[in-house]
Amino acid sequence: MGSREGLSNLLAYVNDQRGIDFSLYRHATVIRKLDLRLHATKTVSYAAYLEYLKSHPAEIENLVGTLTIKVTSFFRNPPVFEILASSVIPEVMSRFGCLRIWSLGCASGEEPYSLAIIVRDLLKKEKEEINVKIVGTDIDAGAIGKAVRGEYQENAVAGVRKEYVDKFFQMMQEPASQGCLYRISDQIKSMVRFEKDDVLSGLERAKDAGRLYHISLCRNVMIYMNRALQEKTVADISGILCAGGYMVMGESETFPDSVSDRFTQTFPDLKIYGRNPSSP
């Protein structure tokens, strides 16, 4: 599809335009996904595709969306959400008297909305109110737009507990061949703020601003990164977590050994890690 120089020039252009350095991502993944866009635009080399990008500015959004595409769903990997609901979130609320959660790489919003549903349900059961801040960020503007709308097809909520659907979703149209459209209730939407941002830049700005969170979820994001970038991401997450806060990774991701002193795996077989109080 082209020379190493052509690929380097293409990625440098994307970095210049969007501030995302895909050269740090896994090479094989980047090549595979780039080839999809070359095929879609009928360009035959990285150099030709770069010229296409320059003459078709809208294509860069398609490219970024393809390079960062993620699979997501409500309450994905239920055991993780069960532990968050039964142990982690109640502990944090009890200890700090407030709750700040950051969902990095939140895609179209299913993860932060799942967290908001859990928190709202817990607060109702405890009959109390505390200050709750849930933030979802993703580099894909289209995904963030969908998250803000909070509207999902019937198949997207098929795995959600019926009591949650009844409490926190509104059916927007009559059943049809394409299924129903469900909208997240305003009560849940009001608990979540969405922003377009990439993981590393967002973490750097949060650290510089001194913003601290109790729980950070960065699931199925680091699978796209090379080892050095994974290590930096985990180190940066530790820098924006309160002492004793928690980081959640994807079930298929491996914790980088070089930063293992910063966290302790608190629940066997689950990628939930408590930040060590003594870590930098």
pLDDT digits (tens, 9 = 90+) for 75-127: 999 999 999 999 999 999 999 999 999 999 999 999 999 999 999 999 987 76
Q: Confidence band (pLDDT; 50, 70, 90) for 210?
A: very high
Query: What is the C-alpha to C-alpha distance for residues 12 and 32, in angstroms, rounded to an integer?
Result: 18
Evaluate if residue 194 carries a pLDDT over 80: yes
For residue 179, what pLDDT is reported?
Answer: 67
Q: Contact 226/24 with Cβ under 8 angstroms? A: yes
Query: What is the C-alpha to C-alpha distance for residues 102 and 86, in angstroms, rounded to an integer?
Result: 19
Q: Contact 100/214 with Cβ under 8 angstroms? A: yes
For residue 280, what pLDDT is reported?
Answer: 64
Q: Is-above-0.85 flag for pTM?
A: no
For residue 146, what pLDDT is reported?
Answer: 95
The most distant pair of C-alpha atoms in the chain lies apart, rounded to whole Å, by 62
Evaluate if residue 260 carries a pLDDT over 80: yes
**Cα dihedral angle (60, 66, 67, 71), rounded to 10 degrees?**
150
Cα angle for residues 276, 279, 280 (degrees, 5° grid): 150
Dump the DSSP string for the chain.
---HHHHHHHHHHHHHHHS--GGGB-HHHHHHHHHHHHHHHT--SHHHHHHHHHH-TTHHHHHHHHHT-----TTSSHHHHHHIIIIIHHHHHHHHSEEEEEEET-TTTHHHHHHHHHHHHHHHHHT---EEEEEEEES-HHHHHHHHHTEEEGGGGTTS-HHHHHHHEEE-S---TT--EEEE-HHHHTTEEEEE--HHHHHHHHHHHT--EEEEEE-SSGGGB-HHHHHHHHHHHHHTEEEEEEEEE-TT----GGGGGGEEE-STTS-EEEEPTT--
Percent of the chain residues topping a pLDDT of 90: 64
Residue 99 tokens read as: 């709750």
Q: What is the pLDDT of residues 36-53, one digit of tens each?
A: 999 999 999 999 999 999
Distances (CA, A) of 42 to 2, 28, 33, 37, 204: 14, 21, 14, 8, 37
For residue 139, what pLDDT is reported?
Answer: 87
The residue extents of the domains of the chain are 4-67, 78-275
**What is the CATH class of 78-275?**
alpha beta
253 burial type by CB count under 10 A (0-12 exposed, 13-18 middle, 19+ buried) = middle
Report the b/e string of 221-247 with b at 16+ CB within 10 A: bbbbbeeebbbbbbbbbbbbbbeebbb
